[in-house]
Structure 1
Amino acid sequence: MAAVPRALSRLRPRPCPAVLRPCPAGPRGHRGQRGGTTGTGTATALARPRWARPAGAALAFLGGLSLFPRDAEEEEGEDAIILLLKKAKMANVAFMQGQLDNAEKLYKASMSYLLAGDMKEDDNAILEMSLKLASIYAAQKQDKLAIAGYQFCILTLEEKIAKQKDLPEDVLPAEEKANTRLLLGMSLDSYARYLLSVNQLPAAQKMYEKALQIANDVQGETHPQTVVLMNDLATVLDAQGHHDEAYSYVKRAAELARETQHPEEHMVLNNLAAILMHKEDFLQAKQVYKEALKQAQQKGDVASVQHIQEELAELAKRRKGSK
């Protein structure tokens, strides 16, 4: 059986200009980290998720910050802010370099300092760092902490957005409301990728649907991130055997990728070809694979070149077996 289409690496929006700006959701690792599912499942009815707050979710997730109390000898005022920004920068560097244990400690230290001051748990800076921690726990296979972290971020942001919805512009600017919605979209996207990696496909689908809706509403259909999410939703639909629905999403993603010169157009085309193969449209699949291979070679994407060549070989076997 051919591998299912792969989720793309992220092209992240930078959401809100809060106190700290950690990089957006999820340690991405290398290009091979794009889903991790195999095979297809049975069709599942779609439903919008109604999350129930897990007992003590905030306490369970943020409680560990007591391990990192403010140092009594730390500077106050401007020096304290400089120290805090340094910690946040170090945390981001460690995170991007895959030094997850170090990044976890630095994020916790930064959050502990902020929460010991006057910053609330639902501040976007706290929630971005909480999202990073959830991604770290997911990478470390600490599933209970990862799930608690993702759900804490999503539930808190949903409640915050509901409260902000009717606030006038002079009280809360539209840009700030949009930033909070983007942060929710990032949280949903990151949680969806985690759910996909542990083969919880219907749940991942629901998270991708919500993330895609936010991206469409806030950034528009042609935004690079919207195209990525469209592709990723197609991935999880295809993995469940919903090939026609998957095709409609990935076909539109491919059209938008071409129109906007998306840097990962070849990967979208690869997914389109895989879904065409699952639909047994072998001739069209071969044409699309060849175009994806040509673009991957031009861009020097060695991993994608190898993957597409393997799928072309699989396509040849399937065509031969269907005769």
Structure 2
Amino acid sequence: MLLWVRGYMWTRPAFVAAIQLFSRHESEQENPEDEIILLIKKAKMANLAFLRGDHLNAEKLFKAAMSQLLQSGTPEDDNAMIEMSLKLCNIYVSTEQHGLAVEGYKWCIETLEEKVQREKDVPEVSVSAAEKANTRLLLGMCLDSCARYMTSQKQLVLAESLYQQALAISQQVQGETHPQTVVLMNDLATVLDMTGHQDRAYEYATRASNLARETSHPDQCVILSNLARVLMHRGDYHEARCVYEEALTLAESSADKPIIQHIRNGMEELQAKAQQSQEVRESTH
């Protein structure tokens, strides 16, 4: 059972209940074939608006598509419904509607947890292994998205728990070397470092970095930079500099200016800490 942020009263989500009523009149005027065409159009338009950052229209279109799905008999825990609900959560995060965001994340995660548990004993003739895996991966996606949000809100204990669960799912379904598994290890290391658990952070950051090197991970320079930061916080300044230099070489080879600047900022912080540590040692002699 997850420990959720205090101060909210949890009931059946208001946004799901509201969706059932959204654009009902419009749907009742369509015949079944027209409804399917309209649903596809709404879903495509919603995704396009979402990708463009047009949050207001994306929210309206996602709600309209979800309303139509519900009215056609699609259950609330259908993966398509939850995927759109997750995108609504991300919209609420971007528009700082924090109550709706937290409520939505909680509904998505708990609904999927119940669904995964329920599907365990269902024979594959009814629900295929691929479908079960997709549901688990969707749960992992929701946990990951919520963990990132909770990290931004400084709810670090909860973020750690969410990342642990997301990582376990990715390891079980996609394997230890999958790019998403490596990213989750890195993100978990970041949260552990933020909470002062440097030894555990080092363990995950080292594993993520080794896998990133072995697999030529597309985010290898970022993952290495994170390891360097963990090493810096552990006081391993020499090793941290070596890893930062490795990360900087990779970033420069791809001409990734934002990452290059991020790494250089980290190296400047490292230099300041190392110098301060040296001055403290000298003053004690």
**TM-score after normalising by structure 1:** 0.82
Equivalents in 2 of 1:113, 1:152: separation in Å? 20
Cα offset for 1:75?
A: 3.8
Tell me the secondary structure at the aligned position of residue 26 of structure 2: coil
- Structure 2 residue corresponding to 1:236, chosen from 191, 207, 230: 191
- Structure 2 residue corresponding to 1:280, chosen from 197, 218, 235: 235
- Map 1:69-218; keep pairs closer than 5 Å: 69-71=24-26, 74-218=29-173
Q: Which position in structure 2 is the counterpart of 1:45?
A: none
**How far does the alpha carbon of each residue in 1:156-177 deviate from its partner, in whole angstroms, 9 at most, with x for none?**
1111111111111112111111
Structure 1 residues not aligned, in runs of 5+: 1-47
Equivalent pair of 1:122/1:156 in contact (CA under 8 Å): yes
RMSD: 1.7
Cα offset for 1:304?
A: 0.6
Equivalents in 2 of 1:223, 1:70: separation in Å? 46
**Identity within the alignment, %:** 53
Equivalents in 2 of 1:205, 1:105: separation in Å? 33
Equivalents in 2 of 1:208, 1:76: separation in Å? 44
> Which stretch has the larger CA shift, 77-86 or 212-221?
77-86
Tell me the secondary structure at the aligned position of residue 167 of structure 2: helix
Cα offset for 1:56?
A: 2.1
Cα offset for 1:138?
A: 1.3
- Structure 1 residue corresponding to 2:222, chosen from 262, 267, 273: 267
Equivalents in 2 of 1:128, 1:54: separation in Å? 24
- Which structure has greater helix proportion? 2
Paired letter, 1:110: A
Equivalent pair of 1:282/1:319 in contact (CA under 8 Å): yes
Paired letter, 1:134: C
Cα offset for 1:49?
A: 2.7
Equivalents in 2 of 1:240, 1:129: separation in Å? 32
Matched positions, count: 275
Equivalents in 2 of 1:97, 1:171: separation in Å? 38
Q: Which position in structure 2 is the counterpart of 1:30?
A: none
Equivalent pair of 2:144/2:163 in contact (CA under 8 Å): yes
Residues 1:64 and 2:18 are matched in the alignment: yes
Equivalents in 2 of 1:305, 1:70: separation in Å? 53
Equivalents in 2 of 1:132, 1:72: separation in Å? 22
Paired letter, 1:63: A
Equivalents in 1 of 2:243, 2:142: separation in Å? 32
Tell me the secondary structure at the aligned position of residue 57 of structure 1: coil
Q: Which position in structure 2 is the counterpart of 1:224?
A: 179
Paired letter, 2:232: M
Equivalent pair of 1:57/1:148 in contact (CA under 8 Å): no
**TM-score after normalising by structure 2:** 0.93
Tell me the secondary structure at the aligned position of residue 154 of structure 2: coil
Paired letter, 2:99: K
Equivalent pair of 1:51/1:155 in contact (CA under 8 Å): no
Equivalents in 1 of 2:27, 2:221: separation in Å? 54
Tell me the secondary structure at the aligned position of residue 43 of structure 2: helix
Change (3 A) 1:274 1:105: same
Equivalent pair of 1:70/1:112 in contact (CA under 8 Å): no
Equivalents in 2 of 1:269, 1:78: separation in Å? 52
Cα offset for 1:314?
A: 1.2
Change (3 A) 1:292 1:74: farther
